[in-house]
Structure 1
Amino acid sequence: MSEIMAVRPARLNRVVIYGLLLLFAGFYLTPLYVMLTTSFKTLDEIRGGDILALPAQPTAAAWLRAWAEACIGVTCAGIKDYFWNSIRMVVPAVLISTALGALNGYVLTKWVFPGHRVVFGLMLFACFIPFQSVLIPMARMLGLLGLSNSTAGLVLTHVIYGLGFTTLFFRNYYETFPNELIQSAQMDGAGFFTIFWRILLPSSAPIIVVTVIYQFTNIWNDFLFGVSFTSGAAAPMTVALNNLVASSTGVKEYNVDMAAAVIAALPTLLVYVLAGRYFMRGLMAGAVKG
């Protein structure tokens, strides 16, 4: 009898916990639901006022218009070119900042030198510098390098600003690797890059996933650097989305705006869906361990 009485509170607690989780999940996902349903509605249906209703006659016309026909400023060619601008910006910026962060973390833990803690402290300090404080010097530097109003300039900006975070992640991860393993490889004649490439890097998959997801999300969603350092056809997706919503052609097309917003969010959603489990494993493996 006592066992039965003990099981009932456990079941009740489980029901309460899962009920609250479902409630919070529904509350959190409501904006996404509204965006999706609105993007498949016609303007007449949207004007009906029932924002939570499913589309009576679903149509993908708003998606096609957002991709290839919507007006952004004075150009009515959709968001497709700006979407590819963001892809061309994000991929190299993520790869370069991740590779440099891995090398930095390796040097700061396994090839220590006098003052390495000061160097790491300065790089860590860079993580807390507000974006706004670097706009003027970064704009000046991009101008001197001839990279103003270009995707390459944004790549350089995000690599520099993200290097402190990627170094932090890899440094904390490599700190857990036994130094004896590195010393044994050195005694066998392995050099700097051989140790990194054949010993540390093959074991770095969890932290690489964490870093890639973190950098991809931050760079893709960035608006400040994009709007400050680019304009017109060189702008990334976030700037184009803002300009699309701000553009007016006489009729406010909410379905087109919502479709464009979902398109802008899809890459980050896909990254988390496909690699979310590995992100948590990487964090537990020491990515944010002090």
Structure 2
Amino acid sequence: MRKFERYGGRLFVYGCLAFLATLYLVPLWVMLITSFKPLDEIYSGSLIGLPKQFTFEAWSKAWSTACIGTNCVGLSPFFLNSLIITVPAVFVSTAIGAINGYTLAKWKFRGSDLFFAFMLFGCFLPLQAVLLPIARVLGMLHLSGSTAGLILVHTVYGIAFTTMFFRNYFVSFPDELTKAALVDGAGFFRIFFSIALPTAIPIAVVCCIWQFTSIWNDFLFGVSFSAGGSSPITVALNNVVNVTLGRKQYNVDMAAALIAALPTLIVYVLSGRYFVRGLTAGAVKG
């Protein structure tokens, strides 16, 4: 009886999980199969049925000829814009966050805890509250409506998060190692690059994944501080979906949405386990 109850309980739990997973994946399934259907089949067929005729025409159109406003160039230039914005912003904000976190954890100064508290406040500040100050600063720097401006915005906004992650990781870094290195004549940067940073690879991976997904998926900063050809892919996707000539091209819209989501999906598939390990390590050390 106990054995039946044990296996029956597991079957119930796994059944519920399978049901919820299926329910969660249904929108993705609909997007995927719709992107491979001809437009006539979409209007005449079922929503979740497999395509009677597989075609990549919608994907090709979304990538190269879909209209973003009045400019029918597809998502390809805006995909490149997002890469240009995301990659440097991720690495610069992670590098600065690593140095900040190490400083706040192991080289404390007067008011360092208050400084860290203000940085934490920056993590939870609503994006809408900083739009006007950011717009003012970008205007003063003559970076409004440019990819360079968006790189600066995402880098500065991400420093608070990366500093928090690294600081919590470095809190339990052994003080003895730092003191021994100081006795041997090593300075701040020598200790950081030779001793501290090599141990922080897991949390660095967490920061890179966090920043990559946050910046790539951002829409508010992109639509507020970019213009024309400098827009990221999220803004271009919004324009593709909302600009329709004739019949609504659902297959192109779905293909465009999948193209926009593909990089973050690849990042999580390839490095998802490292993300979990890094979060666990940071939680234990913090």
Flag whether TM exceeds 0.5 (same fold): yes
Aligned length: 286
Distance in 2 separating the partners of 1:198 and 1:28: 45
Q: Deviations over 1:73-102 (max 9, x none)?
A: 001110100000000000000001100000
Map of 2:280 onto structure 1: 284
Distance in 1 separating the partners of 2:5 and 2:22: 25
Q: Deviations over 1:15-60 (max 9, x none)?
A: 1121111111111111111100000001111002411001111100
**Is 2:32 the partner of 1:36?**
yes
Distance in 2 separating the partners of 1:187 and 1:25: 56
Distance in 2 separating the partners of 1:95 and 1:82: 20
Distance in 1 separating the partners of 2:198 and 2:110: 28
Q: Which of 49, 69, 72 is the aligned partner of 2:68? A: 72
Q: Which of 85, 101, 104 is the aligned partner of 1:89? A: 85
Trace 1:129-208 onto structure 2 (pairs within 5 A).
Answer: 129-208=125-204
For normalisation by structure 1, the TM-score amounts to 0.96
Q: Which amino acid aligns with 1:235?
A: S
Q: Which amino acid aligns with 1:167?
A: T
Aligned residues of 2:171 and 2:285 also touching (Cα < 8 A):
no
Q: Which amino acid aligns with 1:276?
A: G
**Is 2:89 the partner of 1:106?**
no
Map of 2:246 onto structure 1: 250
Distance in 1 separating the partners of 2:284 and 2:65: 44
Distance in 2 separating the partners of 1:97 and 1:288: 23
Distance in 2 separating the partners of 1:286 and 1:176: 10
How large is the Cα RMSD of the aligned pairs? 1.2
1:114 is displaced (CA, Å) by 0.9
Aligned residues of 1:238 and 1:264 also touching (Cα < 8 A):
yes
1:8 is displaced (CA, Å) by 2.4
Distance in 2 separating the partners of 1:139 and 1:109: 33
**Is 2:15 the partner of 1:19?**
yes
Q: Which amino acid aligns with 1:100?
A: I
Change (3 A) 1:198 1:115: same
Aligned residues of 1:34 and 1:51 also touching (Cα < 8 A):
yes
Q: Which of 208, 215, 230 is the aligned partner of 1:212? A: 208
Map of 2:58 onto structure 1: 62
Match of 1:107, SS? helix
Map of 2:265 onto structure 1: 269
1:205 is displaced (CA, Å) by 1.3
Q: Which of 116, 119, 124 is the aligned partner of 1:123? A: 119
Change (3 A) 1:85 1:51: same
Distance in 2 separating the partners of 1:196 and 1:14: 48
Q: Show structure 2 runs of 5+ residues with no match.
A: none
Identical amino acids, percent of aligned pairs: 59
Distance in 2 separating the partners of 1:248 and 1:195: 58
Q: Which amino acid aligns with 1:81?
A: P
Q: Where does structure 1 differ by over 4 angstroms across 4 or more consecutive aligned residues?
A: 287-290
Distance in 2 separating the partners of 1:150 and 1:29: 36
Match of 1:47, SS? helix
1:289 is displaced (CA, Å) by 6.7
Distance in 2 separating the partners of 1:10 and 1:162: 46
